[in-house]
Structure 1
Amino acid sequence: MTVNRHLEEFHGLPAFTFPDAGDKSSRAASLPAPESVAWRIAVDAYDSEEEWEDAFARFLAAVDTEKVRALIVGAWSDVYDTSPHAVIDALVAARDRLPALRALFLADIVGEECEISWIVQGDVSPLLEAFPSLVEFGVRGGNGLVFPAVRHERLRTLTVETGGLPAEAVRGIAASDLPSLTALDLWLGTSEYGGDADVADLEPFFAGTRLPGLTRLALRNSEIQDAVCTALASAPVVARLTHLDVSMGVLTDDGATALLSGQPLTHLEVLDLHHNYLSTAVRTRLLETLEPAGVVVHADQGDADSDEEEDGTVWRFVAVGE
């Protein structure tokens, strides 16, 4: 499974794709109010007649960018082979043109353009440095992703969607000082696609000391989901969460039982475990334990056996891999 739909909204705003060069609707009079939408700038992923930087230049010329609140970076040329270095440089160069920018998403690219684990990424920290007023930042794709430790005073939501999140990037995020962050969403992925982080790399998130405002934590889409849940069972950060998301991964009865057997979860508003490999008995136990306390539990009927070969080998997969 891969990501098959572009963002339809971002930062509470409907997504609007800035028209291509040949579209007459790209004239300023035909465009929505600058502050009313999340602007998506994209070109064809292959054989594009325009580079992303040129499309962005047209956007800067056509829109009153001083009022723009949210930007979505779609496909750039040759995303299988080319990092977004030039895209990031163009955005950084335009920072003074975007004083109201509060939300930025890099690589809103779907499977028909480029599978998530084949998107070539790069160092995204210059974007956080260039836009200190961002409150929401997201990036898709872990291939070549670099995320060194940063300090950002205002960021409230950080999302990193991958089929394999490199351990070095996990460590960089974990070492970052993000005092205003309330929501963290990491798709850890699989080792097959570069997701080589282990539970020890996640320890700073479990402790939560660098993220004093965190109330929503998602550590999901992981092949080590059982180990993650076992660690969360005694993680100090859980006591102050309202939303805990361990969905989309290889979660079995072992991980769910460990989570239920640990610290109380009845203070949560939402526990998300959708896409799982739970037995009916464990799923029922989850619901009977937490729903009477008012916790909304997303635990679709799992496939405990999954795909079993004739020799007894069982194959289980994360929701989004390649």
Structure 2
Amino acid sequence: MTDKKMRAWPLEKFGAPDVLAERAVDVPAPDRHEVLVQVAACGVCGQDVMRRAGKVDRLLGAVMGHEIAGTVVRVGADVTRFAAGDRVACMQRRACRSCPACLRGEEVLCETGVLYGEALDGGYAEYCLIDELSLARIPDAVTFDAAAIAACAIGTGYHALRLANTQAGQRVLITGAGGGVGIHAAQLARGMGAEVVAVTSTPAKADLLTGYADEVLVLEEGRFAQQVRDQTIQPDVVLDLSARHTLPESLRAVRRGGAVMIVGNLDGGMVEILPGAFITREIRLVGSKACSLLELEDCLRFIERGVVTPVINDVMPLGQAAAAHHRLAARTALGRIVLRP
């Protein structure tokens, strides 16, 4: 710790957005492998909203926020990859460096990995500590706002599309397509040469989604599989971002031999499915977690080259974190909301 104070928004109790309150806390000092980052932007993720409400990972005390970008101001004694003044973007999790998954280069599957903004202090603050192996350098042409959402809002869908082995000419259906992960996955799939069918439950987002997808379907009473069968060629890949509510429909919609990827939704609800569908139609059902450091670096280059354009609904002061949570919970934001200290 240092003698300097900073503003931060820790999660001290579960509840409505107004539980997020400003606190004055010490600016932390970096350990051997850590970097002290002055936060320039922090995205607001749907998981932030669920966690604040106590629906996932019921841990209290840490400063919220895992979509972080900023400037290095101080480095630990053993840090070799970064120096003060570097512009950096953060992965969602810190890996351990030593478990079998990490040694295989699969830090996403780290056996003891922990999430920034949950078990570790995150980016709803003026400064935060990040392990150097959780950071990627931001290209000069990429803004902090865009870089903040690169790992989660963009990288999550990118990782899923890669796991599904998405190819040019395939058809990709995305549920929850108006959210932060969905709208960027649509752009990435198109960048891979696939056709995109966007599914949304929010009619107000349908017109806006036409700029990012080849077809847009609005959910009717939670159902879309029959619409897909009637109106389109069945998709080769489904990215299901709303699994508890849409997984049975996704399994009905995907083509024989296709893949359904369960992506980024950890709300803990149960889903009933018929195992026979996997056998008779040879469907692959695959979980997809988060991007790797190499994939984060890819996503930053995609932004730099214009392959994907970050969709930022609004930029708000960090002091309005509660208001941002209200808007995200109301499902009125197309894309991401970004907070700035």
Higher relative contact order (CA 8 A, sep 6+): 2
- TM > 0.5: no
TM-score (norm 2): 0.29
Normalized per residue, the structure richer in strand is: 2
